[in-house]
């Protein structure tokens, strides 16, 4: 990691005194609220973003941009390793409300600390957990006010969210370490293919202290203190929304 203090300053987090589950949970929440999920680089250039550590640091920390799972979870993993955490990347299938076979399309992280294992993901949003999830229990866990459960499966586990009391699978995770070269292949497809959802329309998401904000196409959704509002943005309204709600001032990069 080129500059740990600069990365921590980017997400507004203090330097942890030592690796711990408590500090891990705090780092993840700081990250989710400060750095948005966003696909604008792929959308506007139809090129896959670089996953080189220096380029990720320059984009996310210095230019204060966001990214998608292959970027955000890789850079966070590098930060955690620099802070002394034992962590490894894993691949997952996005299965939320889907019954058809789904490809491996997502990068997340498993962190081992304080004698336990934790699922960490700062590059998904939506129905995913907005905080760390213990992999050492089959009990329901409340994560940022939402109920989740870990379901075992052959070769890994499923992260499921309780919807009306019923576990709804969100991510089917392969519980084995994946080398970066495998994620480079996935990144090349999802970052540039005309069939990728990330080259079709804006997809943005950021957690807030009392909810979240998302933008899919021109539909802006805000969850604030349990109440959801939606609005279709005009092209003229988009730059202001990106800056005010997602912290992205793209005009400064032109």
The pLDDT tens digits of the residues spanning 72-102 come to 999 999 999 999 999 999 999 999 998 888 9
Instruction: Tell me the CATH architecture of domain 4-253.
Output: 2-Layer Sandwich (3.30)
Name residues of the chain where pLDDT drops below 70.
1-2, 251-254
pLDDT at 253: 59
Q: What pLDDT, on the 0 to 100 scale, is given for residue 226?
A: 87
Encode pLDDT of 21-59 as tens digits.
999 999 999 999 999 999 999 999 999 999 999 999 999
Antiparallel, parallel or unpaired: β 203-208 and 37-38:
antiparallel
Q: What is the pLDDT of residue 126?
A: 86
156-96-215-42 Cα dihedral, nearest 10 degrees: 50
Question: How many helices (H) and strands (E) would you count in the chain?
Answer: 7, 13
Task: Provide the whole-model pTM.
Answer: 0.96
Contacts of 160 (CB under 8 A, 6+ apart): 148, 149, 150, 151, 167, 168, 169, 170
Q: What is the pLDDT of residue 84?
A: 97
Pair 204, 36: CB distance under 8 Å:
yes
244: Cα within 13 Å, side-chain hemisphere: 7
Question: Where do the structural domains in the chain lie, given as residue ranges?
Answer: 4-253
Q: What is the pLDDT of residue 173?
A: 98
């Amino acid at each position: 990691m080129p500059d740990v203090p600069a990365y921590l300053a980017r997400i507004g987090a203090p330097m942890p005194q030592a690796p711990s589950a408590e500090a891990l949970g705090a780092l993840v929440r700081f990250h989710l609220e400060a750095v948005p999920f966003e696909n604008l680089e792929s959308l506007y250039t139809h090129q896959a973003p670089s996953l080189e550590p220096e380029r990720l640091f320059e984009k996310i920390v210095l230019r204060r941009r966001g990214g998608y799972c292959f970027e955000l979870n890789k850079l966070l993993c590098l930060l955690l390793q620099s802070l002394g955490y034992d962590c490894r990347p894993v691949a997952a299938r996005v299965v939320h409300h889907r019954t058809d076979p789904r490809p491996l399309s997502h990068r997340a992280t498993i962190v081992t600390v304080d004698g336990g294992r934790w699922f960490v993901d700062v590059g998904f949003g939506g129905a995913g957990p907005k905080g760390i999830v213990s992999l050492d229990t089959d009990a329901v866990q409340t994560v940022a006010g939402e109920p989740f459960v870990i379901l075992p499966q052959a070769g890994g586990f499923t992260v499921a969210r309780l919807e009306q009391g019923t576990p709804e699978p969100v991510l089917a995770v392969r519980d084995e370490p994946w080398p970066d070269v495998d994620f480079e292949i996935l990144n090349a497809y999802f970052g540039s293919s005309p069939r990728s959802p990330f080259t079709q329309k804006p997809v943005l998401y950021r957690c807030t202290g009392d909810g979240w904000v998302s933008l899919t196409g021109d539909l802006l959704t805000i969850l604030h203190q349990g109440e959801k509002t939606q609005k279709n943005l005009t092209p003229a309204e988009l730059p202001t929304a990106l800056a005010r709600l997602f912290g992205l001032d793209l005009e400064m990069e032109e």
